[in-house]
Protein backbone atom coordinates (compact mmCIF):
# COMPACT_ATOMS: atom_id res chain seq x y z
CA UNK A 1 0.00 0.00 0.00
CA UNK A 2 1.24 3.51 -0.82
CA UNK A 3 2.06 5.71 2.14
CA UNK A 4 -0.33 8.55 1.26
CA UNK A 5 -3.20 6.11 0.69
CA UNK A 6 -2.78 4.64 4.17
CA UNK A 7 -2.50 8.08 5.76
CA UNK A 8 -5.62 9.31 3.94
CA UNK A 9 -7.62 6.32 5.19
CA UNK A 10 -6.43 6.88 8.76
CA UNK A 11 -7.10 10.62 8.78
CA UNK A 12 -10.57 10.12 7.29
CA UNK A 13 -11.37 7.75 10.14
CA UNK A 14 -10.03 10.26 12.67
CA UNK A 15 -12.17 13.03 11.20
CA UNK A 16 -15.13 10.67 11.49
CA UNK A 17 -14.30 10.38 15.20
CA UNK A 18 -14.45 14.22 15.36
CA UNK A 19 -10.74 14.57 16.09
CA UNK A 20 -9.66 18.21 16.39
CA UNK A 21 -7.85 20.09 13.64
CA UNK A 22 -4.74 20.13 15.85
CA UNK A 23 -4.85 16.34 16.15
CA UNK A 24 -5.20 15.88 12.39
CA UNK A 25 -2.30 18.29 11.79
CA UNK A 26 -0.18 16.41 14.35
CA UNK A 27 -0.63 13.06 12.59
CA UNK A 28 -0.21 14.58 9.14
CA UNK A 29 3.06 16.29 10.10
CA UNK A 30 4.82 13.32 11.66
CA UNK A 31 3.66 10.73 9.13
CA UNK A 32 4.71 12.79 6.11
CA UNK A 33 8.05 13.51 7.73
CA UNK A 34 8.58 9.79 8.27
CA UNK A 35 7.53 9.02 4.69
CA UNK A 36 10.18 11.38 3.33
CA UNK A 37 12.81 9.72 5.49
CA UNK A 38 12.07 6.10 4.52
CA UNK A 39 11.64 6.96 0.82
CA UNK A 40 15.08 8.58 0.88
CA UNK A 41 16.32 5.28 2.29
CA UNK A 42 14.73 3.17 -0.46
CA UNK A 43 11.58 1.97 1.34
CA UNK A 44 8.53 2.78 -0.77
CA UNK A 45 5.42 1.13 0.78
CA UNK A 46 3.88 0.27 4.14
CA UNK A 47 4.50 -3.47 3.86
CA UNK A 48 8.26 -2.95 3.41
CA UNK A 49 8.82 -0.92 6.59
CA UNK A 50 10.93 -2.74 9.18
CA UNK A 51 11.54 -1.95 12.84
CA UNK A 52 15.11 -0.89 12.08
CA UNK A 53 13.78 1.75 9.65
CA UNK A 54 11.69 3.24 12.43
CA UNK A 55 14.48 3.10 15.02
CA UNK A 56 16.96 4.75 12.65
CA UNK A 57 14.39 7.51 12.05
CA UNK A 58 14.23 8.20 15.79
CA UNK A 59 18.03 8.27 15.98
CA UNK A 60 18.10 10.78 13.12
CA UNK A 61 15.58 13.02 14.90
CA UNK A 62 17.77 13.10 18.02
CA UNK A 63 21.27 13.28 16.51
CA UNK A 64 20.80 15.24 13.27
CA UNK A 65 17.82 17.46 14.09
CA UNK A 66 18.56 17.70 17.83
CA UNK A 67 14.90 17.28 18.74
CA UNK A 68 13.92 16.89 22.37
CA UNK A 69 13.01 13.40 23.64
CA UNK A 70 9.41 14.57 24.04
CA UNK A 71 9.25 15.47 20.33
CA UNK A 72 10.74 12.12 19.32
CA UNK A 73 8.11 10.44 21.48
CA UNK A 74 5.42 12.47 19.70
CA UNK A 75 6.59 10.97 16.41
CA UNK A 76 6.53 7.49 17.96
CA UNK A 77 2.95 7.91 19.12
CA UNK A 78 1.84 9.09 15.69
CA UNK A 79 3.52 6.18 13.90
CA UNK A 80 2.15 3.67 16.40
CA UNK A 81 -1.42 5.00 16.05
CA UNK A 82 -1.56 4.83 12.25
CA UNK A 83 0.20 1.45 12.03
CA UNK A 84 -2.08 -0.14 14.60
CA UNK A 85 -5.15 1.28 12.88
CA UNK A 86 -4.09 0.01 9.45
CA UNK A 87 -3.32 -3.44 10.87
CA UNK A 88 -6.57 -3.61 12.85
CA UNK A 89 -8.54 -2.76 9.73
CA UNK A 90 -6.69 -5.32 7.58
CA UNK A 91 -4.91 -2.82 5.33
CA UNK A 92 -1.44 -4.16 6.23
CA UNK A 93 -0.44 -7.71 7.27
CA UNK A 94 1.46 -6.75 10.44
CA UNK A 95 2.05 -3.83 12.80
CA UNK A 96 5.75 -3.04 12.73
CA UNK A 97 5.39 -0.67 15.71
CA UNK A 98 4.69 -3.62 17.99
CA UNK A 99 8.37 -4.51 17.53
CA UNK A 100 9.63 -0.97 18.17
CA UNK A 101 10.65 0.11 21.65
CA UNK A 102 9.28 3.48 22.70
CA UNK A 103 11.91 6.25 22.88
CA UNK A 104 12.79 7.27 26.40
CA UNK A 105 11.26 10.48 27.67
CA UNK A 106 12.69 13.00 30.06
CA UNK A 107 10.94 12.87 33.43
CA UNK A 108 9.98 16.49 33.85
CA UNK A 109 7.95 18.02 36.64
CA UNK A 110 5.34 20.40 35.15
CA UNK A 111 5.74 24.01 36.30
CA UNK A 112 2.90 25.12 38.55
CA UNK A 113 1.96 28.45 40.10
CA UNK A 114 2.79 29.22 43.71
CA UNK A 115 0.14 30.50 46.12
CA UNK A 116 1.70 33.98 45.95
CA UNK A 117 1.63 33.95 42.14
CA UNK A 118 -2.04 32.96 42.17
CA UNK A 119 -2.84 35.78 44.61
CA UNK A 120 -0.94 38.25 42.43
CA UNK A 121 -2.86 37.22 39.30
CA UNK A 122 -6.21 37.41 41.07
CA UNK A 123 -5.21 40.87 42.32
CA UNK A 124 -4.29 41.96 38.79
CA UNK A 125 -7.95 41.66 37.76
CA UNK A 126 -9.91 44.88 38.28
CA UNK A 127 -13.05 43.88 40.18
CA UNK A 128 -14.83 47.14 39.20
CA UNK A 129 -14.81 46.49 35.44
CA UNK A 130 -16.54 43.85 33.34
CA UNK A 131 -13.25 42.63 31.86
CA UNK A 132 -11.66 42.38 35.29
CA UNK A 133 -14.55 40.39 36.79
CA UNK A 134 -14.62 38.10 33.74
CA UNK A 135 -10.86 37.52 33.79
CA UNK A 136 -10.77 36.68 37.49
CA UNK A 137 -13.73 34.33 37.07
CA UNK A 138 -11.89 32.50 34.28
CA UNK A 139 -8.82 32.16 36.53
CA UNK A 140 -10.94 30.81 39.39
CA UNK A 141 -12.54 28.27 37.06
CA UNK A 142 -9.15 27.23 35.68
CA UNK A 143 -7.75 26.74 39.19
CA UNK A 144 -10.76 24.65 40.21
CA UNK A 145 -11.08 22.49 37.09
CA UNK A 146 -7.94 22.51 34.92
CA UNK A 147 -9.96 22.83 31.69
CA UNK A 148 -8.06 23.37 28.44
CA UNK A 149 -7.99 26.74 26.67
CA UNK A 150 -10.25 25.54 23.85
CA UNK A 151 -12.65 24.09 26.42
CA UNK A 152 -12.77 27.33 28.42
CA UNK A 153 -13.39 29.41 25.31
CA UNK A 154 -16.06 26.98 24.10
CA UNK A 155 -18.23 26.84 27.24
CA UNK A 156 -21.85 27.53 26.30
CA UNK A 157 -24.13 29.53 28.59
CA UNK A 158 -26.70 26.72 28.48
CA UNK A 159 -24.13 24.25 29.84
CA UNK A 160 -23.42 26.19 33.05
CA UNK A 161 -25.88 24.87 35.66
CA UNK A 162 -25.38 26.76 38.91
CA UNK A 163 -28.54 25.33 40.45
CA UNK A 164 -27.29 21.75 40.25
CA UNK A 165 -23.62 22.70 40.55
CA UNK A 166 -21.95 21.53 37.34
CA UNK A 167 -20.58 22.66 33.98
CA UNK A 168 -20.78 20.50 30.89
CA UNK A 169 -17.47 20.52 29.00
CA UNK A 170 -16.78 19.26 25.49
CA UNK A 171 -13.16 18.21 25.18
CA UNK A 172 -11.01 16.59 22.51
CA UNK A 173 -13.05 14.70 19.95
CA UNK A 174 -16.16 16.45 21.35
CA UNK A 175 -16.09 14.07 24.32
CA UNK A 176 -18.44 15.29 27.01
CA UNK A 177 -17.51 15.44 30.69
CA UNK A 178 -19.00 17.04 33.78
CA UNK A 179 -17.05 19.48 35.97
CA UNK A 180 -18.50 20.02 39.48
CA UNK A 181 -18.78 23.62 40.71
CA UNK A 182 -17.31 24.28 44.17
CA UNK A 183 -18.99 26.82 46.49
CA UNK A 184 -16.40 29.60 46.00
CA UNK A 185 -16.40 28.99 42.26
CA UNK A 186 -20.18 29.38 42.22
CA UNK A 187 -19.83 32.75 43.97
CA UNK A 188 -17.34 33.90 41.32
CA UNK A 189 -19.63 32.72 38.52
CA UNK A 190 -22.59 34.55 40.06
CA UNK A 191 -20.55 37.76 40.28
CA UNK A 192 -19.58 37.40 36.62
CA UNK A 193 -23.16 36.71 35.53
CA UNK A 194 -24.32 39.84 37.38
CA UNK A 195 -21.66 41.91 35.59
CA UNK A 196 -22.62 40.32 32.27
CA UNK A 197 -26.33 41.08 32.71
CA UNK A 198 -25.61 44.70 33.61
CA UNK A 199 -23.62 45.32 30.43
CA UNK A 200 -25.17 46.13 27.04
CA UNK A 201 -23.42 44.24 24.21
CA UNK A 202 -23.63 45.09 20.47
CA UNK A 203 -24.11 41.42 19.65
CA UNK A 204 -25.53 38.37 21.40
CA UNK A 205 -23.57 35.15 21.82
CA UNK A 206 -24.31 31.63 22.98
CA UNK A 207 -20.93 31.47 24.71
CA UNK A 208 -20.55 31.93 28.45
CA UNK A 209 -17.37 34.00 28.51
CA UNK A 210 -17.61 36.89 26.07
CA UNK A 211 -15.59 39.88 24.92
CA UNK A 212 -16.66 43.52 25.11
CA UNK A 213 -18.72 43.09 21.96
CA UNK A 214 -20.60 40.14 23.43
CA UNK A 215 -18.94 37.60 21.12
CA UNK A 216 -16.89 34.48 21.82
CA UNK A 217 -13.40 35.01 23.23
CA UNK A 218 -11.00 33.41 20.76
CA UNK A 219 -8.03 31.38 21.93
CA UNK A 220 -5.65 34.07 20.68
CA UNK A 221 -7.60 36.74 22.58
CA UNK A 222 -7.39 34.57 25.68
CA UNK A 223 -3.61 34.39 25.28
CA UNK A 224 -3.55 38.20 25.17
CA UNK A 225 -5.60 38.31 28.39
CA UNK A 226 -3.09 36.03 30.14
CA UNK A 227 -0.20 38.13 28.84
CA UNK A 228 -1.78 41.27 30.28
CA UNK A 229 -2.42 39.58 33.63
CA UNK A 230 1.19 38.39 33.79
CA UNK A 231 2.51 41.89 33.13
CA UNK A 232 0.22 43.48 35.74
CA UNK A 233 0.97 40.83 38.39
CA UNK A 234 4.74 41.08 37.87
CA UNK A 235 5.25 37.32 37.62
CA UNK A 236 8.72 36.38 36.37
CA UNK A 237 9.70 33.16 34.59
CA UNK A 238 6.41 31.29 34.73
CA UNK A 239 4.36 30.93 31.57
CA UNK A 240 0.86 32.22 32.27
CA UNK A 241 -1.39 30.01 30.19
CA UNK A 242 -4.29 27.60 30.52
CA UNK A 243 -1.77 24.76 30.39
CA UNK A 244 0.09 26.03 33.47
CA UNK A 245 -3.21 26.53 35.27
CA UNK A 246 -4.10 22.95 34.27
CA UNK A 247 -0.87 21.69 35.81
CA UNK A 248 -1.52 23.78 38.93
CA UNK A 249 -5.03 22.38 39.38
CA UNK A 250 -3.84 18.79 38.91
CA UNK A 251 -0.90 19.07 41.32
CA UNK A 252 -2.96 20.77 44.03
CA UNK A 253 -5.80 18.28 43.59
CA UNK A 254 -3.39 15.45 44.37
CA UNK A 255 -1.57 17.39 47.10
CA UNK A 256 -4.91 17.91 48.87
CA UNK A 257 -5.75 14.21 48.88
CA UNK A 258 -7.44 13.68 45.52
CA UNK A 259 -6.82 10.39 43.68
CA UNK A 260 -5.33 9.98 40.23
CA UNK A 261 -8.37 8.10 38.87
CA UNK A 262 -10.89 10.87 39.55
CA UNK A 263 -8.30 13.40 38.34
CA UNK A 264 -8.12 11.52 35.05
CA UNK A 265 -11.88 11.97 34.59
CA UNK A 266 -11.78 15.66 35.54
CA UNK A 267 -8.96 16.42 33.11
CA UNK A 268 -10.48 14.39 30.29
CA UNK A 269 -7.42 12.17 29.80
CA UNK A 270 -8.04 8.99 27.82
CA UNK A 271 -4.77 7.48 29.08
CA UNK A 272 -4.00 7.22 32.81
CA UNK A 273 -0.27 7.43 32.00
CA UNK A 274 -0.74 11.08 31.04
CA UNK A 275 -2.38 11.82 34.39
CA UNK A 276 0.27 9.98 36.39
CA UNK A 277 2.97 12.50 35.48
CA UNK A 278 1.41 14.82 38.05
CA UNK A 279 2.48 12.34 40.71
CA UNK A 280 6.05 13.61 40.27
CA UNK A 281 6.69 15.96 43.19
CA UNK A 282 9.63 18.28 43.75
CA UNK A 283 11.61 18.21 47.01
CA UNK A 284 9.57 20.93 48.74
CA UNK A 285 6.27 19.26 47.82
CA UNK A 286 7.50 15.91 49.14
CA UNK A 287 8.41 17.59 52.43
CA UNK A 288 4.95 19.15 52.62
CA UNK A 289 3.22 15.84 51.96
CA UNK A 290 5.47 14.10 54.49
CA UNK A 291 4.61 16.62 57.19
CA UNK A 292 0.92 16.20 56.44
CA UNK A 293 0.69 12.42 56.11
CA UNK A 294 3.63 10.65 57.73
CA UNK A 295 2.21 7.93 60.02
CA UNK A 296 4.14 8.72 63.21
CA UNK A 297 3.05 12.35 63.46
CA UNK A 298 -0.52 11.35 62.63
CA UNK A 299 -0.75 8.86 65.50
CA UNK A 300 -1.40 10.83 68.66
CA UNK A 301 -0.46 7.92 70.95
CA UNK A 302 3.09 7.55 69.57
CA UNK A 303 5.77 8.97 71.93
Name, in order, each residue with C-beta under 8 angstroms of 32's C-beta and a sequence gap of 6 or more: 7
Flag whether the pTM goes above 0.75.
Answer: no
Q: Is the same domain home to 165 and 281?
A: yes
**CATH number, domain at 21?**
1.10.150.130
* Number of domains forming the structure of the chain: 2
Q: Is the same domain home to 211 and 278?
A: yes
pLDDT at 284: 55
Q: Report whether pLDDT(302) > 50.
A: no
DSSP H or E stretch at residue 225: helix 219-233
Burial of 86 (0-12, 13-18, 19+ CB in 10 A): buried
Domain with 264, as residue range(s), is 115-290
215 is a domain residue: yes
Q: Is the same domain home to 140 and 262?
A: yes
259 is a domain residue: yes
Instruction: Please write the tens of the pLDDT for every residue from 167-208.
Output: 999 887 677 889 999 899 999 999 999 999 999 899 989 999
Greater confidence (263 vs 289) lies with: 263
Q: Is the same domain home to 37 and 63?
A: yes
Measured distance CA(294)–CA(101) in Å, rounded: 38
Q: Is the same domain home to 58 and 121?
A: no
Distances (CA, A) of 256 to 146, 242, 249, 288: 15, 21, 10, 11
Measured distance CA(251)–CA(257) in Å, rounded: 10
pLDDT at 301: 47
pLDDT at 294: 47
SS3 17: coil
Q: Is the same domain home to 123 and 244?
A: yes
Q: Is the same domain home to 95 and 132?
A: no
296 is a domain residue: no
Q: Is the same domain home to 43 and 122?
A: no
290: confidence class by pLDDT, cuts 50, 70, 90: very low
108: confidence class by pLDDT, cuts 50, 70, 90: low
140: confidence class by pLDDT, cuts 50, 70, 90: very high
pLDDT at 285: 55
301 is a domain residue: no
pLDDT at 288: 58
Instruction: Please write the tens of the pLDDT for every residue from 66-101.
Output: 998 889 999 999 999 999 999 999 999 999 999 998
SS3 232: helix
Q: Is the same domain home to 23 and 133?
A: no
109 is a domain residue: no
157: confidence class by pLDDT, cuts 50, 70, 90: very high
Q: Is the same domain home to 90 and 119?
A: no
Amino acid sequence: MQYQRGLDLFLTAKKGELASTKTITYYDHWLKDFFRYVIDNGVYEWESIKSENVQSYFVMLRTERNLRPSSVHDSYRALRAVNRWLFKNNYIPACVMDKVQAPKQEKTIPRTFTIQEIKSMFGACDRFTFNGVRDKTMLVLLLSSGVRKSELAGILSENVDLEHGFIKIFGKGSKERIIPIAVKVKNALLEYQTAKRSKVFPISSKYYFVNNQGGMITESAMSSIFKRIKEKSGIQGARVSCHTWRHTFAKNYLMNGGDVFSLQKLLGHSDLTTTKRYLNLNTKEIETQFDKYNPVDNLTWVM
